[in-house]
Amino acid sequence: MTTERVGPSPTAGEREMLRTYLDYHRATLAMKCDDLSDEDLRRRSMPPSTLSLLGLVRHMAEVERTWFRRVINGEDIPLVWSDEGDYQVAYDAGAATRTEAFDAWQAEVGHSRRIEEAAESLDVTGYQPRWGADVSLRMVMMHLIHEYARHNGHADFLREGIDGTVGA
């Protein structure tokens, strides 16, 4: 499996720029997982951390779900892997499979894209209860770009530790 990743246009408008940078980072995470077995994807970085590539994919499914569906769209739904709202549960990929994690993540990305595309503007807001404040779609997209970029750095190290693959 080879993930296609398209770089953002350096002259796009604001919304297109945010959208394409977010998709670029989504594709980067998927690329880091290309051609690895479930066992490789579950491999942890180092004790005591439970961080793994599969755990990152599961975590990002929760992040997408929270920021787009729960915050911007106002949906009253639980997290994917924790009814108690514990984001750490997603990192524990113990017996998880690529299929389970990627199906959940891709479903949430699909919801996120539909919500973003349906929004009238980047100024649409939703309530973020952990912050006790309204946040704009613009801020949510920026936050997700930041979140993916940070975790893609983790994914770089995890992938290198599995098979020596580095870069991009």
Domain count along the chain: 1
In three-state form (DSSP H/G/I as H, E/B as E, the rest C), the secondary structure along 91-130 is HCCCCCCHHHHHHHHHHHHHHHHHHHHHCCCCCCEEEECC
Instruction: Specify the CATH number for the domain of residue 88.
Output: 1.20.120.450
Q: At 164, phi and psi to the nearest 5? A: 85, 0
**Residue 59 domain flag:** yes
Query: Mean pLDDT throughout 94-121?
Result: 96
**Residue 6 domain flag:** no
Query: Mean pLDDT throughout 17-30?
Result: 96
Domain extent, residue 53, equals: 14-163
Give the chain's largest Cα–Cα span: 46
Query: What pLDDT does residue 110 have?
Result: 98
The Cα–Cα gap between 14 and 2 comes to 29
Query: Mean pLDDT throughout 146-155?
Result: 96
Query: Mean pLDDT throughout 40-61?
Result: 92
**Residue 168 domain flag:** no
Residue 100 confidence (pLDDT) above 80: yes
**Residue 55 domain flag:** yes
Mean of pLDDT over the chain: 94
Residue 45 confidence (pLDDT) above 90: no
Report residue 47's pLDDT band, with 50, 70 and 90 as the boundaries. Answer: confident
Residue 1 confidence (pLDDT) above 70: no
Cβ(5)–Cβ(152) below 8 Å = no
pTM of the model: 0.94
